[in-house]
Amino acid sequence: MRLEQAGIRVTNLERSIRFYTRALGLKVVRRGDTRVWGGGLWVLLRDPRSRRLIELNWYPKGSLFYRGYHPGEALDHLDFTLGAVSRASLERVHRTLLKRGAKATQWTPSTTEGWSTHVLDPDGIWITVGRRPTPAERRSAG
């Protein structure tokens, strides 16, 4: 497993995009809107030199993830990837995380169609572990 990205909660998404792109030189890779299922807006940024990713997340009041903002407490989540592995591998990782002290959330391999699992670390920080399609899955989708 390797760290994929870190997510940061922001209070003003466009202002934060301007800062991270203009001041720090990151590039927008992708944008998303998960408000339809209770999430928020997100923007994925990449550092062109290190290739590392940061996800900026803005959650409206009423979102499943909305919390009052306190400066310095904006780490939203950490994303890890297993790479191209099977759903069974992801399920094993999920069980191992729970055995080693992670707290369960409602998003498990069974609720994400086997693509990711989401747990909380002992201090409540959101941890996402995802997988990419295996070669066999890529061939069958083609």
Please compute, for residue 114, the number of CA atoms within 13 A of its CA located in the half-sphere on the CB side: 10
For residue 130, which of 111, 140, 116, 120 has the smallest C-alpha distance? Answer: 116
pLDDT (tens digit, 0 to 9) for every residue of the chain, 142 residues total?
Answer: 888 888 988 888 998 998 888 977 889 999 999 999 999 999 999 989 888 899 999 999 999 888 887 766 777 787 888 889 999 999 999 999 999 988 999 999 999 999 999 998 776 778 899 999 999 999 998 7
104 strand-pairing partners: 119
Say what the pLDDT of residue 71 is: 64
Residues 93, 87: Cα–Cα separation, whole Å: 10
Residues 76, 63: Cα–Cα separation, whole Å: 14
Residues 88, 94: Cα–Cα separation, whole Å: 10
Global pTM reads: 0.65
**Domains located in the chain, CATH noted:** 1-73 (3.10.180.10), 78-142 (3.10.180.10)
Residues 24, 49: Cα–Cα separation, whole Å: 11
